Amino acid sequence: MGARGSPSRRRQAGRRLRYLPTGSFPFLLLLLLLCIQLGGGQKKKENLLAEKVEQLMEWSSRRSIFRMNGDKFRKFIKAPPRNYSMIVMFTALQPQRQCSVCRQANEEYQILANSWRYSSAFCNKLFFSMVDYDEGTDVFQQLNMNSAPTFMHFPPKGRPKRADTFDLQRIGFAAEQLAKWIADRTDVHIRVFRPPNYSGTIALALLVSLVGGLLYLRRNNLEFIYNKTGWAMVSLSYIHGSSQAQFVAESHIILVLNAAITMGMVLLNEAATSKGDVGKRRIICLVGLGLVVFFFSFLLSIFRSKYHGYPYSDLDFE
């Protein structure tokens, strides 16, 4: 015990201190202050990031898409720190802008954002926001953006790359296509849930009700159902049975059938090339396909009735 504090050891320690460079103490002090400053700066960044994420989560709890002006855009999207991805729709929804495509794209964007908000995988790694031209003109000018709508992904670190801008002109703005693009950029997979569309069911119910109501009103006089002349008006009685002749009415019937087939092809093309709602495009596609199949089969049946022995048919109307 006494050896520890012996005079010889104290003299050796004093010699070691005397041999330290005279400029080492300011250097050590500066290094200590730098470590303290770096630790404080890191703590400040962590606190700022926590505040930003907390604010974004609060906005997301109210609305799946929150609107941003120039100040909010610079604070929550452009300025670090940031550990989350942000999907931004740049649009022009004000009535005076008359941007019908913006309204259609906004509907799909709302469906996508709602699907993410109410998903079991929802977390603070992905947020959806919107910048309207009339609310953030400076943002449009800062990004040199002169068209709307435009979808951009702002990654957690670094600047957006070319692939972070959604190719709306080539792919369209359907919610499913946006979800696929987001999965490629963020590895976050969103299952799109669309609200049920009862327009087709309602239209069919109204048609059935109308026909049923007419039959009910004429329930005491239903001889028109058994009227052969009436049914002959809608049958192929105006089609000449020989390929060497043709009635005048037959020419008009063929014209109407070809017009219906053409209309079906136009609807199919519209469903394939338009960028509107997927549900509406699906209905247009089914209607166009029905027109083509039904009336082309009708036209083919007329051809078979005139050219006996023709072996091909689609829907048999004979």
Position 2 scores a pLDDT of 44
What's the pLDDT score for residue 166? 94
Residue 218 lies in a domain: no
- CATH classification at residue 109: 3.40.30.10
Burial class of residue 64 in the structure, from the number of CB atoms within 10 Å of its CB (0-12 exposed, 13-18 middle, 19+ buried)? buried
Q: Does any domain span residue 286?
A: yes
Q: Which residue has the tokens 């919610």?
A: 175
Distance CA 313, CA 124 (A): 59
Consecutive 10-residue averages of pLDDT for the chain (318 residues): 50 48 60 61 79 91 91 90 92 90 92 92 92 92 90 92 90 90 93 77 76 72 60 54 62 81 86 74 84 81 64 50
So what's the pLDDT on residue 133?
A: 92
Number of domains making up the chain: 2
Query: Is residue 268 a part of any domain in this protein?
Result: yes
Residue 151 pairs in a beta bridge with 89
Same domain assignment for residues 161 and 242: no
Output the pLDDT for position 255: 83
Please give the pLDDT value at position 275: 67
In a domain, residue 83? The reply is: yes
Dihedral sign computed on CA atoms, order 146, 148, 151, 156: positive
Residues 132 and 181 in one domain: yes
> Do 182 and 283 reside in the same domain of the chain?
no
pLDDT number for residue 264: 86
Buried b (16+ CB within 10 A) or exposed e, 114-140: bbbbeeeebeeebbbbbbbbebbeebb
Q: Which pLDDT score is estimated for 200?
A: 61
Q: What is the largest CA-CA distance in the chain?
A: 136
Q: Is residue 148 part of a domain?
A: yes
Domain span at residue 308?
227-317
Q: Give the model confidence (pLDDT) of 34-60 as tens digits.
A: 666 555 567 777 888 889 999 999 998
pLDDT of residue 317: 43
Tell me, yes or no, whether 157 and 240 share the same domain: no
The domain boundary residue, chosen from 123, 155, 186: 186
**Residue 217 has which token pair?**
């009103």
Report yes or no on 117 lying in a domain.
Answer: yes
Are both 245 and 164 inside the same structural domain?
no
pLDDT at 318: 47
Structure confidence at residue 109 (pLDDT): 94
In a domain, 65, yes or no: yes
User: 80 in a domain, yes or no?
Assistant: yes
